[in-house]
Homo-oligomer: A and B are copies of this chain.
Amino acid sequence: MRITKTIEEVREAVAGARGAGKPIVLVPTMGFLHDGHLSLVRHGRARALEAGGADAPGACVVMSIFVNPTQFGPGEDFGEYPRDLDRDAALAREHGVDLLFAPAVREMYPEGFRTEVRVTELTEPMCGAGRPGHFDGVALVVTKLLNIVRPDWSVFGRKDAQQALVIRRLAADLDLPGRILVAPTVRDDDGVALSSRNAYLSAEEREAARALSRGLRAAARAWDGGERSREALLALVNAEIDREPLVRPEYVDLRSRDTLRDWNGEGPALLAVAARVGRTRLIDNVFLGGEEEQAGPVDRPGRTSGSA
C-alpha cells in the first residue's frame, strides 16, 4: 500500500492503476477507521470486481483520510476529532487498500481558495438544520476528491443517510466521475452504529447511546407489523430516548427516503435520529419499506452479528 500526501502524487498513482486496466474504487473517510469504513472497502471492491468480470484485473482501492475543516461548524469538534494515521494506515493495509491519500488541509485548500459548492433542499432538514454549512463542506470536499481520483466507484456509508443522498444529487448534478455506492450501516454487538465519534463516549454514555438503535429497531418492528402512523413511529423512538437522561435528542424525524420531504404515508421512509450523548453528537437511521431494509445488525466477517 502506498501513502500519498499530494494531489499530484495520488493522481499519478491512480493513473498508473487505470493504465493497467484496473477499476478505481474510492473510499472517502475522515480516518480513525472502524469496521464501518473497512466494510466500505470490501463493498466497493466486491462491486467493482463483479462489474469487471472474473478475468478483469483486481480493483485499485483508494482510501482518502482527511478531516475536512469545511464541514465542521464553529464550536464543533474539528480540533478534537480523533486522528491516528499510523493506526489507520496499518488497518487500511491489512484490509487491502492499495493507495492511501492523506492530504494536509493546505493541500486541499491552499491560500487563495475561493470556491463553494452547495446542494439545496436535501440539505435543509435534519442534520442540515442542526449543522448549518455542514453539507456545503461535504459537497465541496467530495467534489474535489472525485475530481482528483476520478474513481469508477465511490463508496459511502448509509449511517450518514442524508449525506449519501446529498452526494448522489451532487454527483449527478455536477457530472462527477463514477458511480456512488452506499453501503449498509455496520453496528457493534450492542446495536450502536459504528462511528469514529463513539471514541468520545464514557462507559455510561455508551450504555445510554444504545437507546438510539433500540428506538429505531422498535419502530422498524412496528412498521413490519403494519404500523404506518407517523406519530406512533416517532413516539417509539422518543420513548427509548426519553428513558435515558444522558441522551438529548436533536431531531427524530420521518422523511421520504429518496427526497427527504416529510413522509406522506407513500413509499419508503427514512427514520432518522440525531442526539447528544453527553457532549458527543451521534446519528443513526433505518429505512422503512423499500428494497434495502437495513434496520437490524449487519453481518461482518469475523464477528457474530447480533442485537443488544
- Cβ A116 vs Cβ B115 within 8 A: no
Tell me the A residues contacting B by CB distance below 8 Å. 7, 112-122, 139, 143-144, 147-148, 169-170, 173-177
Which single residue of chain B is at the shortest CB-CB distance from A108? B175
Residues of B within 8 A of A147 (CB): 147, 174-177
Across the interface, A114 reaches (CB within 8 A) one of B113, B115, B122, B143, namely B122
What residues of B have a CB within 8 angstroms of the CB of A144 in the complex?
173-175
CB distance A174 to B117 under 8 Å?
yes
The reply to whether A7 and B117 contact each other, CB–CB distance below 8 Å, is: no
Can you name 16 extra interface pairs (CB under 8 A) apart from A115-B118, A115-B169, A144-B174? A7-B175, A112-B169, A114-B119, A114-B122, A114-B169, A114-B173, A115-B119, A115-B120, A115-B173, A116-B116, A116-B117, A117-B118, A143-B143, A144-B173, A144-B175, A147-B174
Find chain B residues with CB under 8 A from A148 CB.
Answer: 175
User: How long is the Cα–Cα vector from A204 to B119 in the complex, in angstroms?
Assistant: 46
Provide 16 A-B residue pairs closer than 8 Å at the C-beta atoms, listed in order of the A residue: A113-B173, A114-B169, A114-B173, A115-B119, A115-B169, A115-B170, A115-B173, A116-B116, A117-B117, A118-B118, A143-B143, A144-B175, A147-B147, A147-B174, A147-B176, A147-B177
Report chain B residues within 8 Å CB of A119: 114-116
